[in-house]
Amino acid sequence: MKNINIMRKHFNLYFGVLLFGCCNVFFTACKSDDSVPAGEKYDASKPIAVTNLMPDSGGIRTQFIIEGSNFGSDVSKIHVTFNGDRKAVIVGSNGTSIYGLVPKEPRGNNLVNVSVDKSDTIKAGTFAYTPKELVSTVAGKGGTVGAIDGTLANARFNCIGGIGILADNLLLVTESHSTNIRLISVDENAVTTLSTGIKGSEPSVLDDKSAAYVVDRSAVGKMPIYILRKSDLWTPKKVANNVTFVGGETLKGEIWTTCLDDTQKYLYFMSSVGEFGRVSLDNPTRGQMLNNTLIPGGGKWVSLRYNKVDGNFYVSVQNRNQIYQIHPPVNRDSSSQSDWMGVIAYAGTSFSGGQDGPKDNATFYNIGGLDIDSRGDLYIVDSYSMIVRKLELSSGIVSTIAGIYKPNSGADIDGEPLESQFNWPYIISHDSEDNFFIGERWGACIRKLAIE
């Protein structure tokens, strides 16, 4: 507590001096260009040194001070990292004290390093990071179905069927029980309808966020594809009325889900009966059926995602209570089905339930959608169980991270993740900060799971 109080005193004093200095510069700038005193410069011929890090624990945006010597006052040359690669925001430095804000990082004791310009990196200490976690309602009203635009609180939805993140706090939403495509702007507190004639699949958004793709899943046996471009204010435009597949295959199921891989060359899809294929974005009227025998779709909900960390595709299959892994061939451009036979049951068993633990023993209960964060970990919405699960890629451990296991007993209650409740969560998608937006089917609203 003493260190925290000292740190706050230093930080407040620093900002007070900084504010006074800025005001002084403003009022005297027209008098002389030499009115700003030169700060202490970094001496590249001498090593930097660290004597103290305060505080040693906290969460995102916690104010910290690193004390030592030879830091200089040019914040553009000062680099502070937490947990190896998480860069802190540096507010200022007087040469002997660096002032900054803690970045988002993993839970636990994380190493803090400091370097200045091209100096050697030195250890400043360890920081015990505790994430701030919260489930909140973003748009709609839990359990109230409708088709109403307006503010986030007044808007109503017809069972969420897909979420695409167009930008932080800008969501493209398809509805599973209507032909509406909606746009949610959290920053503008607004929900608007983009289209009333497309029963859209889960959207796929380009990495540069310039466009998104959806398939009209109501056209069973066909595959109408639409593009929504930022330059067109996200208005849907049809780019393919149907897809002709190499080899003459025809679609038998609905296209519930699509995704893009890291090449951004193809739009991959999975149908409700387990047909896995793709179309070229350069010519979306031509397609390739890559595998239509190894994943038991069963005619119900499926969700498809590509993992940029391990290079595999993952599919959740609702009525099988399992997640499948598709290992692509070395030559990913190959359209030979014999090259796309690397399919395994990756997680879950033939039993239903909410058991956490190793992925081969964990149980799921009517899986809805899945998503993959920046570290390659899988996030699964367990629709019948009313919970959100995490499958850690490195350990293979499944854990419940939000909701209360209450099969077939939904509710919309915000709050701490493991005290919150969901109402048939079906869709999950994350933003650039790995915050998750969850679409509820019967709850008909958008929830946010923020793990900061």
Question: Lowest-pLDDT range, 12-16, 140-144, 390-394, 400-404?
Answer: 12-16
Cβ proximity of 119 and 44 under 8 Å:
yes
pLDDT higher than threshold 90 for residue 127:
yes
Question: Of the spans 33-37, 40-44, 272-276, 435-439, which averages the highest pLDDT?
Answer: 435-439
Mean per-residue pLDDT for 188-212? 97
Cβ proximity of 323 and 396 under 8 Å:
no
Q: Which two tokens stand for residue 113?
A: 């390093």
pLDDT at position 319: 84
Mean per-residue pLDDT for 219-236? 94
| Residue 155: pLDDT band with limits 50, 70, 90 | very high
pLDDT at position 221: 82
pLDDT at position 298: 65
pLDDT at position 331: 94
Mean per-residue pLDDT for 3-9? 47
Cα–Cα dist 138/136, whole Å:
6
pLDDT at position 10: 52
Cβ proximity of 229 and 166 under 8 Å:
no
pLDDT tens for residues 110-119? 999 999 998 8
% of residues, the chain, pLDDT over 70: 91
pLDDT tens for residues 15-38? 444 433 333 333 333 333 333 334
pLDDT at position 26: 30
Cβ proximity of 354 and 385 under 8 Å:
yes
pLDDT higher than threshold 50 for residue 167:
yes
pLDDT higher than threshold 90 for residue 299:
no
pLDDT tens for residues 48-58? 999 999 999 99
Domains of the chain with bracketed CATH: 39-129 (2.60.40.10), 133-451 (2.120.10.30)
Q: What is the DSSP letter of 318?
A: G
| Residue 390: pLDDT band with limits 50, 70, 90 | very high
Phi/psi for 191 (5° steps) reads -120, 130
